[in-house]
Amino acid sequence: MNSAKRYEIFTRFRAANPTPTTELEFSTPFELLIAVLLSAQSTDVGVNKAMRRLFPVANTPQAILDLGIDELKTYIATIGLYNTKAKNVIATCQILVDQHGGEVPPVREALEALPGVGRKTANVVLNTAFGEPTMAVDTHIFRVSNRTKIAPGKNVDIVEQKLLKFVPKEFLHDAHHWLILHGRYTCVARKPKCWNCLIADLCEFRDKTPAPSGVLDPAAVAAAAAAEAAIPAAS
């Protein structure tokens, strides 16, 4: 894919959604960190439901430590792998209190040193809480990057590096949100909704999904309108 196509793709994403953000609900960097830590192999919807119960009771590292692991589990029991995640949350809170004054450090190395926090989680926090132009490559971004050919790669590390290299600088801060949302709602895993995709004409995926019966294909409608406009008017 050439640079002109990439620029147009992100121009359209920005026009459709000028201020994208995560669908996880949070009000502080710490709340975001905990929500992302808990979101592994879970849905944002499920995490948000649990956080709406937890955060009014405890939304600081010390408050969660005071709550204790057993009580914490009662708030997050609906989330997958909650036993392991509860241990990681408690251990993370202890490190934040002991080493960072109860604050979330805006530094990758410090974030990745926290239990349960890998590169992807650190990237989400650095981007969403601290405004850094990072790429948190999840399953959606990996799929969209490869399928569209925006930044194809065999693994998430290659895709991340290609995105950082190829995405125009003016779009870098918001790019990972646009790509996640596009993968979550349009460029879905099994049958991408190509007939309802705002970048279908730029995407280099060959086996595009046709519109379902009875659903108008916007691309076909646009092509028909263009063809009609090109026909000289009868004298």
* pLDDT tens-place string over residues 137-178: 999 999 999 999 999 999 999 999 999 999 999 999 999 999
Q: Is residue 67 one of the residues assigned to a domain?
A: yes
Q: Is residue 102 one of the residues assigned to a domain?
A: yes
Question: Does 228 score more than 90 pLDDT?
Answer: no
Q: Is residue 232 one of the residues assigned to a domain?
A: no
Q: State the pLDDT confidence band at 225, using cuts at 50, 70 and 90.
A: low
Whole-number Cα distances in Å, 10 to 4, 47, 182, 186: 10, 29, 11, 15
Active-site entry in 138, 162, 169, 174? 138
120 is catalytic: yes
What is this structure's pTM? 0.84
| pLDDT score recorded for residue 212 | 85
Handedness of CA 130, 131, 137, 141 (dihedral sign): positive
Residues spanned by the domain of 118: 29-128
Question: Does 216 score more than 80 pLDDT?
Answer: no
Q: Is residue 38 one of the residues assigned to a domain?
A: yes
**CATH number, domain containing residue 102:** 1.10.340.30
- Is 197 within any annotated ligand binding site? yes
Active-site entry in 49, 120, 208, 217? 120
- Is 93 within any annotated ligand binding site? no
Q: Is residue 184 one of the residues assigned to a domain?
A: no
- What pLDDT digit, counting tens, does each position of 66-100 carry? 999 999 999 999 998 999 999 999 999 999 999 99
| Segment 196-215 mean pLDDT | 90
Question: Does 235 score more than 50 pLDDT?
Answer: no
Query: Which tokens is 98 given?
Result: 């002991």
Q: How many structural domains does the chain have?
A: 1
- Is 203 within any annotated ligand binding site? yes
208 is catalytic: no
> Percent of the chain scored above 70 by pLDDT?
91
- Is 187 within any annotated ligand binding site? yes
